[in-house]
Structure 1
Protein backbone atom coordinates (compact mmCIF):
# COMPACT_ATOMS: atom_id res chain seq x y z
CA UNK A 1 0.00 0.00 0.00
CA UNK A 2 0.99 3.57 -0.58
CA UNK A 3 2.32 5.39 2.50
CA UNK A 4 -0.31 6.94 4.78
CA UNK A 5 -3.17 5.20 3.03
CA UNK A 6 -6.65 5.03 4.51
CA UNK A 7 -6.87 1.50 3.12
CA UNK A 8 -8.41 0.32 -0.10
CA UNK A 9 -11.87 1.39 -1.23
CA UNK A 10 -13.52 -1.15 -3.52
CA UNK A 11 -15.92 0.60 -5.90
CA UNK A 12 -18.31 -1.21 -8.24
CA UNK A 13 -19.52 0.35 -11.45
CA UNK A 14 -16.32 2.36 -11.26
CA UNK A 15 -15.46 2.94 -14.91
CA UNK A 16 -17.80 5.90 -15.52
CA UNK A 17 -20.39 8.23 -13.98
CA UNK A 18 -20.90 8.25 -10.24
CA UNK A 19 -18.49 5.37 -9.66
CA UNK A 20 -15.64 7.09 -11.49
CA UNK A 21 -16.21 10.29 -9.49
CA UNK A 22 -16.15 8.30 -6.25
CA UNK A 23 -12.83 6.83 -7.41
CA UNK A 24 -11.41 10.30 -8.06
CA UNK A 25 -12.60 11.79 -4.79
CA UNK A 26 -11.59 8.85 -2.59
CA UNK A 27 -8.14 8.69 -4.16
CA UNK A 28 -7.70 12.39 -3.39
CA UNK A 29 -8.83 11.70 0.18
CA UNK A 30 -5.99 9.20 0.63
CA UNK A 31 -7.61 5.89 -0.28
CA UNK A 32 -6.02 3.32 -2.52
CA UNK A 33 -8.55 1.80 -4.87
CA UNK A 34 -9.87 -1.45 -6.29
CA UNK A 35 -12.02 -0.49 -9.27
CA UNK A 36 -14.60 -2.98 -10.50
CA UNK A 37 -16.56 -2.71 -13.75
CA UNK A 38 -17.14 -4.62 -16.97
CA UNK A 39 -15.12 -2.37 -19.29
CA UNK A 40 -11.41 -3.07 -18.83
CA UNK A 41 -10.23 -0.36 -21.22
CA UNK A 42 -12.16 2.30 -19.32
CA UNK A 43 -10.87 0.95 -16.03
CA UNK A 44 -7.32 1.11 -17.33
CA UNK A 45 -7.69 4.70 -18.51
CA UNK A 46 -9.19 5.80 -15.18
CA UNK A 47 -6.64 3.95 -13.07
CA UNK A 48 -3.71 5.35 -15.05
CA UNK A 49 -5.01 8.89 -14.69
CA UNK A 50 -5.71 8.61 -10.98
CA UNK A 51 -2.39 6.94 -10.24
CA UNK A 52 -0.61 9.72 -12.11
CA UNK A 53 -2.58 12.56 -10.49
CA UNK A 54 -2.85 11.25 -6.93
CA UNK A 55 0.01 8.80 -6.46
CA UNK A 56 -2.38 6.25 -5.00
CA UNK A 57 -2.22 2.52 -5.66
CA UNK A 58 -5.00 1.61 -8.11
CA UNK A 59 -6.02 -1.96 -8.91
CA UNK A 60 -8.68 -2.96 -11.42
CA UNK A 61 -10.91 -6.00 -11.81
CA UNK A 62 -13.01 -6.42 -14.94
CA UNK A 63 -16.14 -8.22 -13.80
CA UNK A 64 -19.78 -8.55 -14.81
CA UNK A 65 -21.55 -8.73 -11.44
CA UNK A 66 -24.45 -10.58 -13.05
CA UNK A 67 -22.05 -13.44 -13.72
CA UNK A 68 -21.93 -15.74 -10.69
CA UNK A 69 -18.26 -16.64 -11.00
CA UNK A 70 -17.22 -13.02 -11.47
CA UNK A 71 -19.35 -11.95 -8.52
CA UNK A 72 -17.85 -14.71 -6.38
CA UNK A 73 -14.38 -13.39 -7.17
CA UNK A 74 -15.27 -9.94 -5.81
CA UNK A 75 -16.94 -11.50 -2.76
CA UNK A 76 -13.71 -13.38 -2.03
CA UNK A 77 -11.73 -10.15 -2.27
CA UNK A 78 -13.99 -8.47 0.27
CA UNK A 79 -13.87 -11.41 2.66
CA UNK A 80 -10.17 -12.15 2.45
CA UNK A 81 -8.27 -8.92 1.66
CA UNK A 82 -7.62 -7.09 4.95
CA UNK A 83 -6.51 -3.96 3.07
CA UNK A 84 -10.10 -3.15 2.10
CA UNK A 85 -11.68 -0.61 4.45
CA UNK A 86 -14.53 0.71 2.29
CA UNK A 87 -17.08 -0.75 -0.11
CA UNK A 88 -19.02 1.50 -2.49
CA UNK A 89 -21.89 -0.48 -4.00
CA UNK A 90 -22.54 1.72 -6.99
CA UNK A 91 -23.07 -0.72 -9.88
CA UNK A 92 -26.63 -0.66 -11.16
CA UNK A 93 -28.87 -0.31 -14.17
CA UNK A 94 -32.23 1.38 -14.70
CA UNK A 95 -35.18 1.60 -17.03
CA UNK A 96 -38.10 3.90 -17.81
CA UNK A 97 -40.25 1.18 -19.44
CA UNK A 98 -43.65 0.28 -18.00
CA UNK A 99 -44.67 -3.27 -17.18
CA UNK A 100 -46.59 -3.31 -20.48
CA UNK A 101 -43.50 -2.42 -22.53
CA UNK A 102 -40.58 -3.86 -20.57
CA UNK A 103 -38.72 -7.11 -21.19
CA UNK A 104 -38.99 -9.42 -18.19
CA UNK A 105 -35.54 -10.92 -18.83
CA UNK A 106 -34.06 -7.43 -18.67
CA UNK A 107 -35.95 -6.86 -15.41
CA UNK A 108 -34.52 -10.07 -13.97
CA UNK A 109 -31.04 -8.92 -14.95
CA UNK A 110 -31.72 -5.59 -13.24
CA UNK A 111 -32.71 -7.37 -10.05
CA UNK A 112 -29.53 -9.43 -10.27
CA UNK A 113 -27.31 -6.36 -10.43
CA UNK A 114 -29.23 -3.84 -8.32
CA UNK A 115 -30.23 -6.25 -5.55
CA UNK A 116 -28.48 -9.63 -5.64
CA UNK A 117 -24.96 -8.41 -6.37
CA UNK A 118 -25.23 -5.53 -3.88
CA UNK A 119 -26.52 -7.91 -1.21
CA UNK A 120 -23.86 -10.56 -1.75
CA UNK A 121 -21.04 -8.01 -1.74
CA UNK A 122 -22.37 -6.45 1.45
CA UNK A 123 -22.67 -9.87 3.07
CA UNK A 124 -19.03 -10.48 2.17
CA UNK A 125 -17.76 -7.12 3.45
CA UNK A 126 -19.80 -6.63 6.62
CA UNK A 127 -18.45 -9.58 8.65
CA UNK A 128 -14.89 -8.77 7.59
CA UNK A 129 -15.30 -5.15 8.65
CA UNK A 130 -17.04 -6.10 11.89
CA UNK A 131 -14.22 -8.49 12.77
CA UNK A 132 -11.75 -5.60 12.41
CA UNK A 133 -14.06 -3.18 14.23
CA UNK A 134 -13.92 -0.67 11.39
CA UNK A 135 -15.02 -0.12 7.82
CA UNK A 136 -17.52 1.76 5.70
CA UNK A 137 -20.23 0.53 3.35
CA UNK A 138 -21.82 3.04 0.97
CA UNK A 139 -24.87 1.77 -0.92
CA UNK A 140 -26.20 3.84 -3.81
CA UNK A 141 -30.00 3.85 -3.79
CA UNK A 142 -32.19 6.50 -5.48
CA UNK A 143 -34.95 8.94 -4.65
CA UNK A 144 -37.25 6.67 -6.69
CA UNK A 145 -36.88 4.23 -3.82
CA UNK A 146 -39.32 6.64 -2.13
CA UNK A 147 -40.95 8.32 -5.14
CA UNK A 148 -41.66 4.91 -6.61
CA UNK A 149 -44.04 6.02 -9.36
CA UNK A 150 -41.47 8.10 -11.25
CA UNK A 151 -39.63 5.45 -13.29
CA UNK A 152 -39.79 1.74 -14.08
CA UNK A 153 -41.43 -0.24 -11.28
CA UNK A 154 -38.71 -2.87 -10.96
CA UNK A 155 -36.02 -0.21 -10.85
CA UNK A 156 -37.89 1.76 -8.18
CA UNK A 157 -38.52 -1.42 -6.17
CA UNK A 158 -34.84 -2.36 -6.38
CA UNK A 159 -33.87 1.02 -4.97
CA UNK A 160 -36.52 0.73 -2.23
CA UNK A 161 -34.79 -2.52 -1.33
CA UNK A 162 -31.43 -0.78 -1.04
CA UNK A 163 -32.90 1.82 1.31
CA UNK A 164 -34.62 -0.78 3.49
CA UNK A 165 -31.54 -3.01 3.47
CA UNK A 166 -29.45 -0.06 4.65
CA UNK A 167 -31.73 0.53 7.64
CA UNK A 168 -31.39 -3.14 8.64
CA UNK A 169 -27.62 -3.05 8.18
CA UNK A 170 -27.38 0.00 10.41
CA UNK A 171 -29.34 -1.89 13.08
CA UNK A 172 -27.29 -5.09 12.75
CA UNK A 173 -23.92 -3.35 12.68
CA UNK A 174 -24.59 -0.81 15.42
CA UNK A 175 -21.72 -0.91 17.87
CA UNK A 176 -19.51 -2.98 15.54
CA UNK A 177 -17.47 -0.06 14.24
CA UNK A 178 -18.93 -0.37 10.73
CA UNK A 179 -20.50 2.69 9.08
CA UNK A 180 -23.35 2.24 6.60
CA UNK A 181 -24.48 5.15 4.46
CA UNK A 182 -27.33 4.95 1.94
CA UNK A 183 -27.16 7.61 -0.78
CA UNK A 184 -30.30 8.61 -2.69
CA UNK A 185 -29.44 10.51 -5.87
CA UNK A 186 -32.15 12.20 -7.89
CA UNK A 187 -31.63 12.64 -11.65
CA UNK A 188 -27.89 12.76 -12.26
CA UNK A 189 -26.15 13.45 -15.57
CA UNK A 190 -24.56 10.09 -16.35
CA UNK A 191 -24.78 7.34 -18.96
CA UNK A 192 -27.48 5.78 -16.78
CA UNK A 193 -30.06 7.69 -18.84
CA UNK A 194 -28.68 6.44 -22.14
CA UNK A 195 -29.00 2.85 -20.97
CA UNK A 196 -32.40 3.50 -19.40
CA UNK A 197 -33.73 4.90 -22.69
CA UNK A 198 -34.23 8.54 -21.73
CA UNK A 199 -31.02 10.34 -22.68
CA UNK A 200 -32.62 13.81 -22.75
CA UNK A 201 -32.92 13.73 -18.93
CA UNK A 202 -29.20 14.53 -18.78
CA UNK A 203 -29.93 17.98 -20.22
CA UNK A 204 -32.79 18.89 -17.86
CA UNK A 205 -32.33 21.92 -15.63
CA UNK A 206 -33.16 19.81 -12.55
CA UNK A 207 -30.47 17.20 -13.27
CA UNK A 208 -27.43 17.26 -10.98
CA UNK A 209 -23.87 16.62 -12.15
CA UNK A 210 -22.18 13.46 -10.92
CA UNK A 211 -19.41 15.61 -9.40
CA UNK A 212 -21.88 17.57 -7.29
CA UNK A 213 -23.71 14.40 -6.27
CA UNK A 214 -20.61 12.61 -5.03
CA UNK A 215 -19.17 15.68 -3.34
CA UNK A 216 -22.42 16.16 -1.41
CA UNK A 217 -22.62 12.46 -0.53
CA UNK A 218 -19.12 12.52 0.90
CA UNK A 219 -19.93 15.57 3.01
CA UNK A 220 -22.96 13.64 4.27
CA UNK A 221 -20.67 10.74 5.13
CA UNK A 222 -18.32 13.09 6.98
CA UNK A 223 -21.28 14.46 8.93
CA UNK A 224 -22.36 10.99 9.99
CA UNK A 225 -25.58 10.82 7.98
CA UNK A 226 -27.15 7.39 7.67
CA UNK A 227 -29.21 8.44 4.66
CA UNK A 228 -28.02 11.20 2.33
CA UNK A 229 -30.33 12.88 -0.20
CA UNK A 230 -28.23 15.59 -1.86
CA UNK A 231 -31.08 17.24 -3.78
CA UNK A 232 -33.44 17.56 -0.78
CA UNK A 233 -32.84 21.10 0.46
CA UNK A 234 -35.02 20.84 3.58
CA UNK A 235 -33.40 18.02 5.53
CA UNK A 236 -36.07 18.28 8.22
CA UNK A 237 -38.59 16.87 5.73
CA UNK A 238 -36.66 13.60 5.59
CA UNK A 239 -36.19 13.55 9.36
CA UNK A 240 -39.92 13.93 9.92
CA UNK A 241 -40.86 11.39 7.22
CA UNK A 242 -38.49 8.84 8.71
CA UNK A 243 -39.69 9.48 12.26
CA UNK A 244 -43.32 9.05 11.18
CA UNK A 245 -42.45 5.79 9.40
CA UNK A 246 -40.76 4.37 12.46
CA UNK A 247 -43.63 5.51 14.71
CA UNK A 248 -45.99 3.26 12.74
CA UNK A 249 -44.10 0.09 13.68
CA UNK A 250 -45.61 -0.53 17.15
CA UNK A 251 -49.09 0.16 15.78
CA UNK A 252 -48.97 -2.96 13.60
CA UNK A 253 -48.93 -5.26 16.64
CA UNK A 254 -52.62 -6.13 16.99
CA UNK A 255 -54.13 -9.60 17.13
CA UNK A 256 -57.41 -8.48 15.58
CA UNK A 257 -58.15 -6.68 12.36
CA UNK A 258 -59.11 -3.03 12.43
CA UNK A 259 -62.86 -2.28 12.70
CA UNK A 260 -62.96 -1.10 9.08
CA UNK A 261 -62.39 -4.70 7.98
CA UNK A 262 -65.35 -6.11 9.89
CA UNK A 263 -67.71 -8.16 7.71
CA UNK A 264 -71.23 -6.93 6.98
CA UNK A 265 -72.62 -9.66 9.24
CA UNK A 266 -70.50 -8.52 12.15
CA UNK A 267 -71.52 -4.89 11.57
CA UNK A 268 -75.21 -5.82 11.59
CA UNK A 269 -75.05 -7.58 14.95
Structure 2
Protein backbone atom coordinates (compact mmCIF):
# COMPACT_ATOMS: atom_id res chain seq x y z
CA UNK A 1 0.00 0.00 0.00
CA UNK A 2 1.05 3.58 -0.55
CA UNK A 3 -0.31 7.08 -0.08
CA UNK A 4 0.87 10.63 -0.81
CA UNK A 5 1.74 13.11 1.95
CA UNK A 6 1.43 16.78 1.02
CA UNK A 7 1.92 20.09 2.78
CA UNK A 8 1.24 23.78 2.07
CA UNK A 9 4.60 25.51 1.61
CA UNK A 10 6.07 28.82 0.44
CA UNK A 11 3.72 30.83 2.65
CA UNK A 12 6.28 33.29 4.05
CA UNK A 13 6.26 36.83 2.69
CA UNK A 14 9.13 39.30 2.88
CA UNK A 15 10.37 39.49 6.48
CA UNK A 16 7.29 37.60 7.74
CA UNK A 17 8.17 33.92 8.11
CA UNK A 18 5.68 31.07 8.37
CA UNK A 19 6.48 27.40 8.77
CA UNK A 20 9.66 25.40 8.19
CA UNK A 21 9.59 24.60 4.49
CA UNK A 22 12.98 22.91 4.35
CA UNK A 23 12.23 20.54 7.22
CA UNK A 24 8.81 19.60 5.82
CA UNK A 25 10.37 18.92 2.41
CA UNK A 26 12.47 16.22 4.06
CA UNK A 27 9.25 14.36 4.97
CA UNK A 28 6.47 15.04 2.43
CA UNK A 29 6.20 13.69 -1.10
CA UNK A 30 4.21 16.58 -2.62
CA UNK A 31 4.51 20.34 -2.01
CA UNK A 32 1.51 22.64 -2.44
CA UNK A 33 3.44 25.83 -3.13
CA UNK A 34 1.74 29.21 -2.74
CA UNK A 35 1.58 31.34 -5.89
CA UNK A 36 1.76 34.87 -4.53
CA UNK A 37 -1.96 35.65 -4.23
CA UNK A 38 -2.62 34.43 -0.69
CA UNK A 39 1.02 34.13 0.40
CA UNK A 40 4.58 33.89 -0.88
CA UNK A 41 6.87 36.21 -2.78
CA UNK A 42 9.17 35.38 -5.74
CA UNK A 43 12.23 34.89 -3.51
CA UNK A 44 10.40 32.51 -1.18
CA UNK A 45 8.68 30.60 -3.98
CA UNK A 46 11.82 30.09 -6.04
CA UNK A 47 13.70 28.87 -2.96
CA UNK A 48 10.97 26.34 -2.15
CA UNK A 49 10.91 25.11 -5.76
CA UNK A 50 14.69 24.65 -5.71
CA UNK A 51 14.58 22.77 -2.40
CA UNK A 52 11.73 20.56 -3.63
CA UNK A 53 13.56 19.79 -6.88
CA UNK A 54 16.71 18.80 -4.98
CA UNK A 55 14.78 16.46 -2.70
CA UNK A 56 12.62 14.93 -5.44
CA UNK A 57 9.39 16.35 -3.98
CA UNK A 58 6.67 16.96 -6.56
CA UNK A 59 5.62 20.60 -6.97
CA UNK A 60 1.97 21.66 -7.08
CA UNK A 61 0.47 25.12 -7.53
CA UNK A 62 -1.67 26.18 -4.58
CA UNK A 63 -3.92 28.79 -6.15
CA UNK A 64 -6.22 31.07 -4.17
CA UNK A 65 -8.11 34.33 -4.03
CA UNK A 66 -6.20 37.60 -4.36
CA UNK A 67 -6.11 38.07 -0.58
CA UNK A 68 -2.70 38.54 1.02
CA UNK A 69 -4.13 40.33 4.06
CA UNK A 70 -6.62 37.56 4.80
CA UNK A 71 -4.21 34.76 3.87
CA UNK A 72 -6.73 33.59 1.27
CA UNK A 73 -9.16 32.47 3.96
CA UNK A 74 -11.93 34.96 3.09
CA UNK A 75 -14.50 34.15 0.41
CA UNK A 76 -14.45 36.60 -2.52
CA UNK A 77 -17.35 36.91 -4.94
CA UNK A 78 -15.24 37.09 -8.09
CA UNK A 79 -16.60 36.70 -11.61
CA UNK A 80 -15.87 33.38 -13.35
CA UNK A 81 -13.89 35.08 -16.15
CA UNK A 82 -11.71 36.90 -13.64
CA UNK A 83 -11.17 33.76 -11.60
CA UNK A 84 -10.12 31.78 -14.69
CA UNK A 85 -7.45 34.37 -15.46
CA UNK A 86 -6.33 34.67 -11.83
CA UNK A 87 -5.78 30.91 -11.62
CA UNK A 88 -3.93 30.74 -14.98
CA UNK A 89 -1.73 33.62 -13.82
CA UNK A 90 -0.84 31.86 -10.57
CA UNK A 91 -0.06 28.50 -12.17
CA UNK A 92 2.07 30.19 -14.81
CA UNK A 93 4.04 32.23 -12.28
CA UNK A 94 4.89 29.22 -10.14
CA UNK A 95 5.60 27.05 -13.18
CA UNK A 96 8.19 29.59 -14.33
CA UNK A 97 9.99 29.44 -10.99
CA UNK A 98 9.77 25.64 -10.94
CA UNK A 99 11.26 25.41 -14.44
CA UNK A 100 14.18 27.63 -13.43
CA UNK A 101 14.78 25.11 -10.63
CA UNK A 102 14.81 22.27 -13.16
CA UNK A 103 11.29 21.05 -12.44
CA UNK A 104 7.72 22.07 -13.29
CA UNK A 105 4.27 22.25 -11.74
CA UNK A 106 2.61 18.80 -11.79
CA UNK A 107 -0.74 19.47 -10.12
CA UNK A 108 -3.08 22.17 -8.82
CA UNK A 109 -4.65 22.47 -5.37
CA UNK A 110 -6.91 25.40 -4.43
CA UNK A 111 -6.20 27.11 -1.12
CA UNK A 112 -8.27 28.18 1.85
CA UNK A 113 -11.59 29.86 1.12
CA UNK A 114 -11.40 28.97 -2.58
CA UNK A 115 -10.88 25.28 -1.68
CA UNK A 116 -13.97 25.35 0.51
CA UNK A 117 -16.08 27.46 -1.86
CA UNK A 118 -15.72 25.15 -4.84
CA UNK A 119 -16.99 22.18 -2.86
CA UNK A 120 -20.45 23.58 -3.71
CA UNK A 121 -20.05 26.88 -5.66
CA UNK A 122 -20.62 25.78 -9.26
CA UNK A 123 -19.55 28.95 -11.09
CA UNK A 124 -16.25 29.17 -9.27
CA UNK A 125 -15.62 25.42 -9.49
CA UNK A 126 -16.14 25.55 -13.25
CA UNK A 127 -13.81 28.53 -13.49
CA UNK A 128 -10.95 26.77 -11.71
CA UNK A 129 -11.46 23.63 -13.80
CA UNK A 130 -11.40 25.73 -16.98
CA UNK A 131 -8.21 27.48 -15.92
CA UNK A 132 -6.39 24.19 -15.34
CA UNK A 133 -7.72 22.72 -18.58
CA UNK A 134 -6.59 25.75 -20.58
CA UNK A 135 -3.14 25.90 -18.99
CA UNK A 136 -2.30 22.19 -19.13
CA UNK A 137 -4.90 19.39 -19.23
CA UNK A 138 -2.23 16.92 -18.10
CA UNK A 139 -2.07 18.54 -14.65
CA UNK A 140 -3.66 16.56 -11.82
CA UNK A 141 -6.05 18.35 -9.46
CA UNK A 142 -6.28 17.83 -5.72
CA UNK A 143 -9.44 18.35 -3.65
CA UNK A 144 -12.08 17.20 -1.21
CA UNK A 145 -13.73 13.84 -2.02
CA UNK A 146 -17.26 14.36 -3.31
CA UNK A 147 -16.71 18.05 -4.07
CA UNK A 148 -18.23 19.70 -7.12
CA UNK A 149 -14.68 20.78 -8.02
CA UNK A 150 -13.48 17.20 -8.45
CA UNK A 151 -16.71 16.08 -10.13
CA UNK A 152 -16.45 18.82 -12.78
CA UNK A 153 -12.70 18.28 -13.17
CA UNK A 154 -13.23 14.58 -13.88
CA UNK A 155 -15.93 15.38 -16.45
CA UNK A 156 -13.45 17.75 -18.13
CA UNK A 157 -10.95 14.90 -18.48
CA UNK A 158 -8.58 16.02 -15.71
CA UNK A 159 -6.96 13.54 -13.36
CA UNK A 160 -8.54 13.96 -9.92
CA UNK A 161 -6.86 13.15 -6.62
CA UNK A 162 -8.86 12.88 -3.41
CA UNK A 163 -7.42 14.48 -0.31
CA UNK A 164 -7.89 14.12 3.44
CA UNK A 165 -6.63 16.56 6.05
CA UNK A 166 -4.48 15.13 8.81
CA UNK A 167 -4.94 18.03 11.21
CA UNK A 168 -8.50 19.23 10.55
CA UNK A 169 -11.84 18.14 12.02
CA UNK A 170 -14.66 16.99 9.74
CA UNK A 171 -18.41 17.52 9.84
CA UNK A 172 -20.70 14.45 9.69
CA UNK A 173 -21.18 15.32 5.99
CA UNK A 174 -17.46 14.93 5.29
CA UNK A 175 -16.65 18.63 4.85
CA UNK A 176 -14.12 20.58 6.90
CA UNK A 177 -15.21 22.24 10.13
CA UNK A 178 -14.66 26.02 9.69
CA UNK A 179 -11.50 27.23 11.43
CA UNK A 180 -13.47 29.70 13.56
CA UNK A 181 -15.21 26.81 15.35
CA UNK A 182 -13.70 25.21 18.48
CA UNK A 183 -11.92 21.95 17.73
CA UNK A 184 -11.55 22.67 14.01
CA UNK A 185 -7.77 22.18 14.10
CA UNK A 186 -6.16 19.13 15.74
CA UNK A 187 -2.87 19.53 17.59
CA UNK A 188 -1.77 16.17 19.01
CA UNK A 189 0.80 14.56 16.68
CA UNK A 190 -0.05 11.11 18.04
CA UNK A 191 -3.79 11.57 17.52
CA UNK A 192 -3.25 12.98 14.03
CA UNK A 193 -0.95 10.10 13.07
CA UNK A 194 -3.51 7.53 14.25
CA UNK A 195 -6.28 9.25 12.27
CA UNK A 196 -4.11 9.23 9.16
CA UNK A 197 -3.48 5.51 9.52
CA UNK A 198 -7.22 4.88 9.80
CA UNK A 199 -7.91 6.98 6.71
CA UNK A 200 -5.17 5.21 4.73
CA UNK A 201 -6.64 1.82 5.73
CA UNK A 202 -10.17 2.89 4.79
CA UNK A 203 -11.38 2.77 8.39
CA UNK A 204 -13.87 5.31 9.81
CA UNK A 205 -12.76 8.31 11.86
CA UNK A 206 -14.94 10.33 14.25
CA UNK A 207 -16.49 13.54 12.93
CA UNK A 208 -16.49 16.52 15.29
CA UNK A 209 -19.76 15.29 16.86
CA UNK A 210 -18.47 11.73 17.20
CA UNK A 211 -20.30 10.36 14.15
CA UNK A 212 -18.12 7.74 12.39
CA UNK A 213 -17.33 8.76 8.79
CA UNK A 214 -15.09 7.35 6.08
CA UNK A 215 -12.83 9.68 4.09
CA UNK A 216 -11.50 8.13 0.90
CA UNK A 217 -8.13 9.67 0.12
CA UNK A 218 -5.17 9.29 -2.22
CA UNK A 219 -3.25 12.03 -0.40
CA UNK A 220 -2.96 13.29 3.18
CA UNK A 221 -2.33 16.98 3.95
CA UNK A 222 -0.39 18.40 6.89
CA UNK A 223 -0.75 22.18 7.05
CA UNK A 224 2.61 23.92 7.10
CA UNK A 225 1.32 26.64 9.44
CA UNK A 226 0.02 24.20 12.05
CA UNK A 227 1.99 24.36 15.34
CA UNK A 228 4.54 21.50 15.42
CA UNK A 229 3.86 20.85 11.70
CA UNK A 230 7.22 19.16 11.21
CA UNK A 231 6.70 16.88 14.21
CA UNK A 232 3.19 16.09 13.00
CA UNK A 233 4.45 15.19 9.51
CA UNK A 234 7.22 13.02 10.96
CA UNK A 235 4.81 11.20 13.25
CA UNK A 236 2.38 10.59 10.38
CA UNK A 237 5.16 9.29 8.11
CA UNK A 238 6.51 7.01 10.84
CA UNK A 239 3.09 5.66 11.81
CA UNK A 240 2.27 4.81 8.20
CA UNK A 241 5.68 3.27 7.59
CA UNK A 242 5.39 1.09 10.68
CA UNK A 243 2.07 -0.19 9.32
CA UNK A 244 3.65 -1.07 5.96
CA UNK A 245 2.22 1.91 4.06
CA UNK A 246 4.76 3.66 1.85
CA UNK A 247 4.75 7.38 1.09
CA UNK A 248 4.59 7.93 -2.67
CA UNK A 249 3.69 11.03 -4.69
CA UNK A 250 0.53 10.75 -6.78
CA UNK A 251 2.16 12.79 -9.55
CA UNK A 252 5.49 11.86 -11.03
CA UNK A 253 8.47 13.61 -12.54
CA UNK A 254 8.66 13.25 -16.31
More strand by share: 2
TM-score w.r.t. the length of structure 1 is 0.35
Structure number with greater CO (CA < 8 Å, separation at least 6) is 2
TM-score w.r.t. the length of structure 2 is 0.37
